Amino acid sequence: MSTEIWLDTDPGFDDWMAWALLQAEPGLKLVGVSVVAGNAPLRQTLANALRIRALHGWTVPVHAGCERPLVQAPVTAQDVLGETAMATAGRALPLTRAQPVAAHGVQALIDAARARPGRLTLLALGPLTNLATAFDAAPDLPALLKAVVLMGGSTDRGNTTAVAEFNIHADPEAAARVFGAGVPVVMFGLNVCRQVLVGDEHVRAVRALGTERALLFADHLDAYVGIARRRGGTHMAVYDPTPVAWLSRPELFALEPAHVDVELEGRLTRGMTVCEFRVPARARPNTRVATQADGPEVMAWSLRGLARVLS
Ligand code: BDR
Ligand code: CA
């Protein structure tokens, strides 16, 4: 029996890699995709999503979702990822005339959950605006979902601020709504994604696959590793693909129950995921937080999946 998944995403190269790994895994059944503003404005993340789908010839429906965070002004990661959020060391994703399905992403994900009571996992790889809007629009949604699995937050350091991770920082009110929705949440924060590292050896392995698609992907992976090179490092953390690896290979991870709250007010701490691990003594657990990953094994699994989807 395969796990049925709805992907909510803001591509971004690491979102592309995560999506590719989802498609590569026979035990994971992707039923739909909603796109959200995040790494770049919605028009750009949506264009990226449609180009990725066209490149691979996938047929999964892609829906446009929310354009702005619930409360605050939009922020993007274009300062790090470049104007298109899809930097490349060579070839660029080909343009496509493809359009999204007409239904709004929020309604589409609600409909997908209602069609599969108790079976659908929401995999969220961007700011949580679409999910929070769906929970507000459909009070029956929490009881319908199997789980929300998300890349976001951190148990320790942040990336956008000292303590806030980008996906939470980009819409803290939405994140607070999701952690408080009463759905089982599984959180893959920076603390665990930084244990999964990608470097030049992986770029070379993808390039060696030799197909046009693999060379195109390798050029983007090269540029992604380039973010670390510019900072004097050699390896980048693998963010969005990490929860996909867990969905397929949970034995490679350790998770701990916690109560996660999102700080909405702190002048220095807005967008921080405050993780109370002293559960149930001090708080009711609402999340399983990933704390350990076998990084080399996750990367070996990723390369096998990429070989299937890029060949
Ligand atoms: C997250 O932020 C985005 O830039 C990535 O796609 C990932 O979802 C990492 O903080
Ligand atoms: Ca993302």
What percent of the chain lies above the pLDDT cut of 70? 100
Distances from the Cα of 263 to the Cαs of 127, 157, 273, in angstroms? 15, 14, 6
Nearest CA to ligand 1 atom 4: 39
75: phi then psi, degrees, rounded to nearest 5:
-130, 155
Ligand 1 centroid–CA 240 distance in Å is 7
- Cis omega (within 30 of 0) on the bond before 280? yes
Q: Could you tell me which residues are beta bridge partners of residue 122?
A: 6, 148
Quick one: CA torsion of 117, 30, 293, 82, rounded to 10 degrees? Answer: -130
Reported as a single tens digit per residue, the pLDDT across 32-77 is 999 999 999 999 999 999 999 999 999 999 999 999 999 999 999 9
In the chain the domains, ranked by start, together with CATH numbers, are 3-310 (3.90.245.10)
Ligand 1 centroid–CA 112 distance in Å is 25
Reported as a single tens digit per residue, the pLDDT across 222-267 is 999 999 999 999 999 999 999 999 999 999 999 999 999 999 999 9
**pLDDT at site 210:** 97
Structure tokens at 93: 């994703």
Query: Mean pLDDT over residues 142-163, rounded?
Result: 98
Q: With a cut of 90, say whether residue 1 has pLDDT above it.
A: no
pTM over cut 0.85: yes
Ligand 2 centroid–CA 290 distance in Å is 17
Cβ atoms of residues 128 and 66 within 8 Å: no
Cβ atoms of residues 126 and 10 within 8 Å: yes
Dist. CA 144–CA 156, nearest whole Å: 32
Q: What is the b/e burial string over 213-240, where b = at least 16 CB atoms within 10 angstroms of the residue's CB?
A: bbebbbbbbbbbbebbeeeeeebbbbbb
Q: Which of 13, 84, 154, 166 to mutate to test the pocket of ligand 1 (most atoms within 8 A of CB)?
A: 166
**pLDDT at site 124:** 99
Dist. CA 31–CA 298, nearest whole Å: 24
Distances from the Cα of 165 to the Cαs of 27, 73, 268, in angstroms? 30, 17, 13
Is the beta carbon of 15 within 6 A of some atom in ligand 1? Answer: yes
Structure tokens at 78: 């274009």
Q: How confident is the model at residue 308 (pLDDT cuts 50, 70, 90)?
A: very high
The β-bridge relationship of strands 145-151 and 120-124 is: parallel
Q: With a cut of 90, say whether residue 98 has pLDDT above it.
A: yes
- Cis omega (within 30 of 0) on the bond before 105? no
**At 134, is the secondary structure helix, strand, or coil?**
helix
One-letter amino acid for residue 129 of the chain: T
Is the beta carbon of 14 within 6 A of some atom in ligand 1? Answer: yes
Q: How confident is the model at residue 2 (pLDDT cuts 50, 70, 90)?
A: confident
